[in-house]
């Protein structure tokens, strides 16, 4: 007999989350939203403008925690809808596969991926979005930039925590960078 998991009550209080972050790696999903042409080639990357935990403002990809009992696909949909709106129309396969796994550490020297709050293990996905995307909730703005623009040093400086490097990895996975 199998039990059904109830994820509705799975949010931790602020104190419990802070305590867990001090003791455990937290599982995240990172989503690089893209627009594609009729052949499936990436034409632009969606970047959010958001306030960061340290008070700075940074360009960022869609990212967030996976809840206890939540499927990876459901976490992706939840975070994409939260950040890009309910009509973003993300194209996520039934069984999504990450293009890479990223480890964020409080110490930026460990992997180059940095989150001052915690050690986080993130499954990173490239997600084509076919609908109307608009920043929502915590995001201040959303811009769509070409692969050439997003790999420029100026854009990379606007992204924190190693996310500029992650976008470059996504573009390389798509065959757009060597």
Spell out the residues 6+ positions from residue 154 whose beta carbon is closer than 8 angstroms to its own.
none
CB 125 within 8 A of CB 98: yes
Mean pLDDT of 151-178: 90
One-character DSSP codes across 61-110: -EEEEPPTT--HHHHHHHHHHHHH-TT--B---SS---SEEEEEBSSTTT
pLDDT the model gives residue 31: 98
CB 100 within 8 A of CB 113: no
32 vs 177, which has greater pLDDT?
32
Q: How confident is the model at residue 1 (pLDDT cuts 50, 70, 90)?
A: very low
Q: How confident is the model at residue 160 (pLDDT cuts 50, 70, 90)?
A: confident
Q: Which of 1-15, 110-124, 136-150 has the lowest mean pLDDT?
A: 1-15
pLDDT the model gives residue 146: 95
Mean pLDDT of 8-26: 73
pLDDT the model gives residue 53: 67
- Output the average pLDDT for the chain: 88
pLDDT the model gives residue 13: 80
d(C-alpha 33, C-alpha 47), whole Å:
8
- Say what the pTM is: 0.86
- pLDDT tens, 21-77? 677 889 999 999 999 999 999 999 999 998 876 778 889 999 999 998 999 999 999
For residue 1, the number of C-alpha atoms closer than 13 Å in the C-beta half-sphere is: 1
Question: What structural domains and CATH numbers belong to the chain?
Answer: 22-173 (3.90.79.10)
Q: Distances from the Cα of 111 to the Cαs of 43, 103, 128, 134, in angstroms? A: 29, 7, 27, 32
pLDDT the model gives residue 89: 94
């Amino acid at each position: 007999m199998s039990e059904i998991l109830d994820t509705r009550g799975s949010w931790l209080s602020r104190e419990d989350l802070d305590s867990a972050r001090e003791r455990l790696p937290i599982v995240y999903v990172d989503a690089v939203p893209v627009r594609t042409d009729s052949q499936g080639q990436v034409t632009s990357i969606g970047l959010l403008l958001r306030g960061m935990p340290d008070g700075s403002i940074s360009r960022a990809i869609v990212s967030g925690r996976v809840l206890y009992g939540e499927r990876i696909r459901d976490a992706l949909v939840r975070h994409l809808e939260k950040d890009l709106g309910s009509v973003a129309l993300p194209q996520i396969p039934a069984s999504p596969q990450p293009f890479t796994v990223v480890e964020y550490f409080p110490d930026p020297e460990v992997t180059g991926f940095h989150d001052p709050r915690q050690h986080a293990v993130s499954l990173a996905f490239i997600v084509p979005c076919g609908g109307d995307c608009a920043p929502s909730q915590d995001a201040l703005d959303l811009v769509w930039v070409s692969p050439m623009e997003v790999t420029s040093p100026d854009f990379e400086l606007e992204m924190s925590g190693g996310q500029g490097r992650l976008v470059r990895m996504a573009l390389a996975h798509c065959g757009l960078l060597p």
